[in-house]
Amino acid sequence: MKESLRILFISAEVAPFAKKGGLGDVAGSLPKALKEMGHDVRVVMPAYQNIEEGIANGRYDFKIHPGQLQVPLGGRTFLVGVLESLLPGSEVPIYFIAEKNLFNRPEIYGYADDPYRFAFFSRAALDLSAALAWRPDILHAHDWHTGPAVNWLATSGQTDPNFHGIPSLFTIHNLAHQGRSDWNIQNYLGISPYSLDEEGYGEVNFMARAIFHATMINTVSPTYSREILSPSGGAGLDGLLRHRSYDVHGILNGLDYQEWNPATDARLASTFDSEELAKRQINRRALQERANLPLLDDVPLVAMITRLDFQKGLDISGHVIHSLMNAYAGEAQLVILGSGEAEYERMLAQIASYHTEKMSVFLDYMPELAPLIYGGSDMFLMPSRFEPCGLGQLIAMRYGSVPVVRATGGLVDTVEDGITGFQFQEYDANAFWHALQKAINLFHTDKEGWQRIQQAGMKADFSWQRSANGYQQLYRWALARIAG
Ligand code: ADP
């Protein structure tokens, strides 16, 4: 089998161009690691409004190919422009599908026509490879938005000489979002109905279709890849996933070590490495000042940075924050950075209003503040209900903040209980509080033991190199499957 693979990498989010969560981080980092391994990887994403604006004001350096790509959909042929650039800091080509009616909008998602938007994107991304006369060895598609590409490639695409025999790897970043659409979208995409359970429900489910049709499937941690096979973790698709369980793998996400490095991070008040933990004190002070908290040294400074979402364990956090702020485990300080659902914003603002001396809440998305919180806090809370991989705990460990996490998904695979952090099993406030108390107790009673945990976390390897090796293996298995 040849060494260097041509990988067509398609995603609705690619950092730094467009990012809502872990998907964007993965799509912005993994291709670079694959390129460094010698693969010819090309990334395709939609040209959202911020990207079109970035070109107009000179923020991004692009080549523009106006109206050159032919995309056959819904019985007609669309002509769309394509923008071309490089993933920042790399030689990886990235192409943007510039269909203004569909993508030149302020948000990435959240529109009634999302299934049609991403069906268009999926087809255009495949057609682009043909237009470039660049036949990929494999399609690597991510989350439901690229499900139409997997579906088309495995069915109608097999009758097209440009696409015949190309396998796909489908990566599930979050099973909760599935991309449901009306039946007509099949005609639009040019795919024939296929016997899937979903057909009884009179709707198309692109997550389900991608799981059904992909040559190989993976999720972003080994534990999550097992959890989704059970009714409690399968979001209604566990039956289908069990049907394909032999082909479902788990590969942990890596962390972008260029972006997240406490030894070079200019967003910190002081840089530091694992041998210079004392310098974290400067960040702690800066954080306390920024958060308007008393400049105390010997109380644990506990932090949380999160989307305020059902997934993230905010409902069990209410009781725990209450106990922490009422000093049931001794004095503590708490800083929370988060944005999202109004009910959680209200809850946090209300608790904070009772404890202004100890607690500070930033209800906003503030990437410039996050590093200081990671680098200045003692403990980082992640009580997720479910967590496909999670980046927060990886960044916290890298920055010497000890994670206290629920034992679910990627949190199980990355935080070692008592070695790099603290875990609790049951999704309830008591279990969470017990784990946090354990952490606080160690913080107070055993400074050396505490530093050992910090240093073990800082030295753990979550580089993309490690993950990229795993993906390379899956590409090869998918190719062998098609050949075999
Ligand atoms: P998810 O992708 O489910 O939101 P992850 O833990 O995988 O969770 O990734 C979260 C990322 O988003 C981390 O880099 C975290 O620092 C960042 N983040 C989350 N909320 C905020 C916020 N309000 N402000 C700044 N960064 C945030």
All structural domains of the chain with their residue ranges: 6-254+465-483, 277-460
The CA distance from 79 to 81, in Å, is 7
Q: What is the pLDDT at residue 336? A: 98
Q: What is the pLDDT at residue 201? A: 63
> 3-state DSSP call for residue 473?
helix
Tell if the pTM clears 0.75, that is, is over it.
yes
Q: What is the pLDDT at residue 110? A: 94
CATH topology of domain 277-460: Rossmann fold (3.40.50)
Q: What atom in ligand 1 is closest to the CA of residue 22?
A: 2
Per-residue pLDDT of the chain (484 residues), as tens digits, is 568 999 999 999 999 999 988 899 999 999 999 999 999 999 999 999 999 998 888 888 888 887 789 999 999 999 999 999 999 989 999 999 999 999 999 999 999 999 999 999 999 999 999 999 999 999 999 999 999 999 999 999 999 999 999 999 999 999 999 999 988 898 899 987 665 655 556 789 999 999 999 999 999 999 999 999 999 999 999 999 999 999 999 999 999 888 899 999 999 999 999 999 999 999 999 999 999 999 999 999 999 999 999 899 999 999 999 999 998 888 999 999 999 999 999 999 999 999 999 999 999 999 899 999 999 999 999 999 999 999 999 999 999 999 999 999 999 999 999 999 999 999 999 999 999 999 999 999 999 999 999 999 999 999 998 899 999 999 999 999 988 6
The CA distance from 203 to 311, in Å, is 25
| Structural class in CATH, domain 6-254+465-483 | alpha beta
Question: Whose alpha carbon is nearest atom 20 of ligand 1?
Answer: 306
One-letter amino acid identity for 224?
Answer: Y
> 3-state DSSP call for residue 18?
strand
Q: What is the pLDDT at residue 192? A: 73
Question: Whose alpha carbon is nearest atom 19 of ligand 1?
Answer: 306
Phi, psi of 461 (to 5 degrees): -100, 105
Closest CA to 252 of 88, 419, 424, 461: 461
- Say whether 277-460 and 6-254+465-483 share the same fold: yes
Q: What atom in ligand 1 is closest to the CA of residue 369?
A: 25
One-letter amino acid identity for 88?
Answer: P
Q: Are 249 and 471 in contact (CB under 8 A)?
A: no
Q: What atom in ligand 1 is closest to the CA of residue 312?
A: 3
Span from the CA of 271 to the centroid of ligand 1 (angstroms): 21
Query: In terms of residues, how long is the chain?
Result: 484
Q: What angle do CA 439, 440, 446 make, to 5 degrees?
A: 85
Using only the alpha carbons of the chain, give its radius of gyration: 23
How large is the angle between the packed helices 314-325 and 342-354, nearest 10 degrees?
A: 0
Q: What is the pLDDT at residue 54? A: 87
Task: Report the residue among 265, 290, 306, 308 best suited for mutation to probe ligand 1: largest number of ligand atoms under 8 A from its CB.
Answer: 306
Q: What angle do CA 357, 359, 361 make, to 5 degrees?
A: 130
Q: Which residue has the tokens 């996050």?
A: 370
